[in-house]
């Protein structure tokens, strides 16, 4: 198995958070790999740094695109990383990390939609209604773990995490890879993965860019 570069303290923290915060329902199995999914906290920040690497996920974005728009590209070196770190330092848990054993292998940003103002700057993602939904806005999966179900398991875990946080519904903004003029840049996820988790299309203003939503009433905690 690939060895993690995480410290011993990080390994202990991950195990304790599995037991205390998430419970056994957050540990999933896909293709023989056991993925443990945890909310990003201060203790797990080094794991996110390890996953994102020197490139900061995609082009140094550090998952700030839906907060800042294209301005993230103009930020001084290290500014996007620091901005996300400060969100975590203030006690927010802005997403979920997937682990294969001790190795961080996947991430999804999970927040109230109000925390992602740039969504309303994109005409195809303008709000459907006034419901205070939460959003899964982007994913990052470690090379070597792609196409192994990490994205799907993160979506299922996000449903329970949003339910526990009191959200009435969870939205995603994926790429419909079967639609004309679809892009291969699937950092917002794929419509097929969201559909497998029970999400339904609630708006489609561009053929390849649906808004998909899951009512959380029937989701257990």
- For 210, the 3-state DSSP assignment is coil
Which pTM does this prediction carry? Answer: 0.84
Q: Mean pLDDT across the stretch 1-18?
A: 39
Distance, CA of 144 to CA of 109 (rounded, Å):
20
Q: With contact defined as beta carbons under 8 Å apart, do 110 and 136 qualify?
A: yes
pLDDT at 32 (0 to 100): 55
Q: What is the pLDDT of residues 105-142, one digit of tens each?
A: 999 999 999 999 999 999 999 999 999 999 999 999 99
Sheet holding 169-172, edge to edge: 27-30, 33-39, 95-100, 103-112, 134-141, 169-172, 211-215, 200-203
Strand 134-141 and strand 103-112: pairing? antiparallel
């Amino acid at each position: 198995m690939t060895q993690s570069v995480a410290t011993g303290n990080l390994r202990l923290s991950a195990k304790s958070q599995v037991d205390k915060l998430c419970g056994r329902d957050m540990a999933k199995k896909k293709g023989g790999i056991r993925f443990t999914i945890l909310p990003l906290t201060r203790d797990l920040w080094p794991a996110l740094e390890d996953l994102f690497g020197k490139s900061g996920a995609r082009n140094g974005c550090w998952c700030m695109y839906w907060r800042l728009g294209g301005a993230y590209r103009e930020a001084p070196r290290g500014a996007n990383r620091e901005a996300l770190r400060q969100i975590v330092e203030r006690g927010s848990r802005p997403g979920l990390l997937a682990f294969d054993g001790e190795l961080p292998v996947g991430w999804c940003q999970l927040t109230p939609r109000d925390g992602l103002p740039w969504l309303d700057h994109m005409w195809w993602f303008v709000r459907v209604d006034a419901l205070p939904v939460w959003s899964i806005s982007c994913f990052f999966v470690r090379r070597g773990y792609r196409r192994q179900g990490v994205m799907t398991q993160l979506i299922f875990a996000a449903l329970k995490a949003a339910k526990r946080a009191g959200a009435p519904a969870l939205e995603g903004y994926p790429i419909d890879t079967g639609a004309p003029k679809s892009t291969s840049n699937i950092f917002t996820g794929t419509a097929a993965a969201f559909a497998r988790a029970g999400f339904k299309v609630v708006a489609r203003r561009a053929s390849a860019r649906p808004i998909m939503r899951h009512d959380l009433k029937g989701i257990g905690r």
